[in-house]
Structure 1
Amino acid sequence: MRVEIWTDIACPWCYIGKARFERALAAFEHRDHVEVVYRSFELNPKAEDGTTPIIDAVAAQYGRTREQQVAREEYAASEAHAEGLGFRVGARVHGNTFDLHRLLHFAKARGLQIELMNLALRVNFAEERSIYDRETLVSLAAEAGLDEAEAREVLADADAYAQEVRADEREAAELGAGGVPFFVLDRQYGVTGLQSVELFGQALEQAWQNRPATRHPGTAA
């Protein structure tokens, strides 16, 4: 069974939702037969420089006051900490995630997508280091086990894996995803937004029980 997760590294709810889904998956009886694939989604494709403080940028994007956005950040931090995740409030910056999405597709082709995803999320939220600096991205790719020179070549070529990112985004739109995180289980069920561990567990059970009859029990899809 396949679970596809549309996400953006800049999204705190994706960071927390990933942890909750993983907890549900760890408790799922058939977890060894579940393939998890991350897909690209840009919350703000028009974002540019990667130097504007996240609180100011997102407040302006959604028409909130700075105080309102600080409160949302503090709430996200409390939810992250409840999951055992690092989350700092104040110094994170906002920028365009397209290059990181391209690099994640490169990592997927090398079987290291989740490793790079985990590192990027940690750096962005727990360490509040910029994920928009190219040298940082190359360093993260190498830490994830990717070839540093190849990662640098991917980032230098604006067309490398660009079609894969755009294809993910088109598919998200076709499936009706207006935001992330967006979970699709076995192409049968969709789960949107920050949900509980219990709900993810129920969704996994339901998707497993309702797999097409052509599949045999115990086989992966």
Structure 2
Amino acid sequence: MTVTVDIWTDINCPFCYLGKRRFEEALREFPQRDGVTVVHRSFELDPTLAPGTSAPVVEHIAQKYGISVEQAAANERGIAAQAGELGLAYRTQGRDFGSSFDMHRLLHHALAEDRQDALLDALYAANFADEEPAFGDRERLVEIAVRAGLDEVRVRAILDDPEAYADAVRRDENEAAAIGATGVPFFVFGGKYAVSGAQPSETFARALQLVWDEQLVPIGVESADTCGPDGCAVPDADVPRAGSGD
């Protein structure tokens, strides 16, 4: 028996970064993990951004939510604390945000090359951990893709052709809309039920077991951190445990 877990994510989304690690923790302890296939699906938090767009995250958060730059920076530190609990690096200063469309196109190519998970990890590391910004620089994207094991010539050819894998990205986004996914991360287990948000690992473990046992039970009904088209939830400024508005 095999089970497919489809995960809609965006590289701009900090909770997708955290949610991936929490899901992986659950999968690592799942006895039937060898029978689980994971497919990462495309979801752009802001599909209106033009390729090559890049701007500082902290200032963007402050402007988007009408808070001070200091409050936005505290918000980033709150996410960094959550990442640290999971053993993930998270840079709180100097990060950017931008169009992820080309990244998603490359992720579809990477799926065909059996390098999708490696590329997603490399993109997350570039965005959330590396000193050099992840967006707005084609050569930087080529470097990230090659680091993940993709062929440089093929990567450049895809980036040169704006139609390459574009339909695949749009299909993922249309499917997300059709099933009611308005924010990410969004997990669909075995095509049967969904887990929304960066839920605790225990929730993912329960979902894996239930779908393996072919039971249909609501999962993840409690609210959890997500990013949507309007950004990531920002709480009161003095509570530094929330999302950024990437």
| TM-score, normalising length: structure 1 | 0.91
* Distance change in 2, residues 1:211/1:199 (3 Å): closer
Q: Tell me which residue corresponds to 1:148.
A: 152
Q: Tell me which residue corresponds to 2:174.
A: 170
Distance 1:173 1:63 in 2: 28
Q: Tell me which residue corresponds to 2:208.
A: 204
Cα pair 1:5 1:183 within 8 Å, conserved:
yes
CA deviation vs aligned residue, 1:168-188 (integer Å, no higher than 9, x gap)? 000000110111000000011
2:17 corresponds, among 10, 15, 18, to 15
> In structure 2, what residue type is equivalent to 1:8?
D
Q: Tell me which residue corresponds to 1:192.
A: 196
CA deviation vs aligned residue, 1:120-153 (integer Å, no higher than 9, x gap)? 1111101142222111111122121111011001
- Identify, as 1 or 2, the structure richer in helix: 1
Distance 2:7 2:131 in 1: 23
Distance 1:71 1:182 in 2: 26
* Distance change in 2, residues 1:50/1:188 (3 Å): same
Count matched residues: 212
Question: In the alignment, does 2:36 pair up with 1:34?
Answer: yes
> In structure 2, what residue type is equivalent to 1:203?
A
Aligned pairs (5 A) from 1:1-221: 1-48=3-50, 49-132=52-135, 133-210=137-214
Distance 1:129 1:196 in 2: 30
Distance 2:47 2:209 in 1: 35
Q: Tell me which residue corresponds to 2:237.
A: none
Distance 2:183 2:72 in 1: 18
User: What SS is found at the alignment partner of 1:5?
Assistant: strand
Runs of 5+ in structure 1 lacking a partner?
213-221
Cα pair 1:186 1:211 within 8 Å, conserved:
no
User: What SS is found at the alignment partner of 2:78?
Assistant: helix
User: What SS is found at the alignment partner of 1:135?
Assistant: helix
Moved more, 46-55 or 117-126: 46-55
Cα pair 1:88 1:125 within 8 Å, conserved:
yes
Cα pair 1:50 1:130 within 8 Å, conserved:
no
Moved more, 4-13 or 203-212: 203-212
Distance 1:35 1:154 in 2: 26
